Amino acid sequence: MTQPVTIERRGPVQWITISREERRNALNERVAELIHSGLDEAEADRTVRAIVLTGAGDKAFCAGGDLQLQADGTPFTIDVADPRHYVARLLRRMDSCRLPLVARVNGHALAGGLGLVCACDLVVAREDALLGVSEVKVGIFPMMILPFLLRVISYRRMMELCLSGEPMLAREAEGERIVNYAVPAGELDTKLEWLLGRITDKSPTGIRLGKQALSKIREMSTDAALEYAQFMLANMARTQDAREGFAAFNEKRKPNWSGE
């Protein structure tokens, strides 16, 4: 049986691809579990420098949740007493990932698919891809992904997307800094490789510790964040990568990162 998510190592980058092209790469619990496992696997390997999340084919990055009508006519069932819904679990795991997460938006990113895009650190998209949340058209609201939409999209633009249900083109999203780069479809992988090249030659320890700190600082008061940042900076200065980085700078040579 073909897995709905494929995981592939390409040099220092782990690729995670939602492989449900016939369902527009829609999310379900198994897809979320496999993405989660792919993130765990990448973080456990010290030689991985970044993760790419994408979808199969050229139509959809991810069209959101794979909604199937329940017996009572509702599109899904959520146990209100259980906070461990698979989408929430996946978004929490993406948020805590200490490796750079890069979304390769090969097609439309809608509803939960836009949530995945916003949960990534960097985004390269084909310029004609649609980004949006259409939940209001079927009587609901994009509740699960709101925390991530709020981080990336300006409030008024986010509300326009949520209240109208109308999508925007990636080329528009680039102008509003919702995606980093929007390019013609034929240039998508070239631009992605260019961006990955600027990340994977940097200190893996600095990036891992920096992302770990950022996930905590984001939730702190300014005073608490400054105190924590001072503590983390002192610890980072003791790493082998920091010592190598300063030595390479003074010796005017390229660093040889150990990842320690």
CA angle 205, 117, 180 (to 5 degrees): 75
Structure tokens at 28: 């379900």
Residue 81 to residues 23, 84, 85, 205, Cα–Cα distance (Å) = 30, 9, 10, 39
Domain boundaries, the chain: 5-200, 204-250
Residue 2 has a pLDDT of: 82
Cβ contact 24:4 at 8 Å: no
Give the Cα separation of 245 and 256 in Å (integer).
8
- DSSP per residue over 148-215, as a string? HHHHHS-HHHHHHHHHH---EEHHHHHHTTSSSEEE-GGGHHHHHHHHHHHHHTS-HHHHHHHHHHHH
Cβ contact 103:60 at 8 Å: no
Residue 66 has a pLDDT of: 78
Mean pLDDT for back-to-back runs of 10 residues, the chain (260 residues) = 92 98 94 97 96 97 76 52 80 96 98 97 98 93 95 97 97 97 98 97 95 93 96 94 94 93
| E strand or H helix at 147 | helix 146-152
- DSSP per residue over 17-68, as a string? EE--GGGTT-B-HHHHHHHHHHHHHHHH-TT--EEEEEESTTTEEE-SB---
Residue 76 has a pLDDT of: 52
Residue 78 has a pLDDT of: 55
Catalytic choice (33, 127, 135, 187): 135
Render pLDDT for 200-230 as a digit per residue (tens, 0 to 9): 999 999 999 999 999 999 999 999 999 999 9
Give the Cα separation of 94 and 77 in Å (integer).
23
CA nearest to 183, candidates 195, 172, 171: 171
Residue 220 to residues 4, 92, 203, 230, Cα–Cα distance (Å) = 37, 17, 26, 14
Residue 73 has a pLDDT of: 45
Give the Cα separation of 78 and 65 in Å (integer).
13
Give the Cα separation of 25 and 17 in Å (integer).
9
Q: Would residue 160 show up in a list of annotated catalytic residues for this protein? A: no
- Using CA atoms of 235, 241, 246, 252 in order, give the dihedral in degrees to the nearest 10: -170
| CATH top class, domain 5-200 | alpha beta
Strands 130-132 and 168-169: antiparallel
Render pLDDT for 27-55 as a digit per residue (tens, 0 to 9): 999 999 999 999 999 999 999 999 999 99
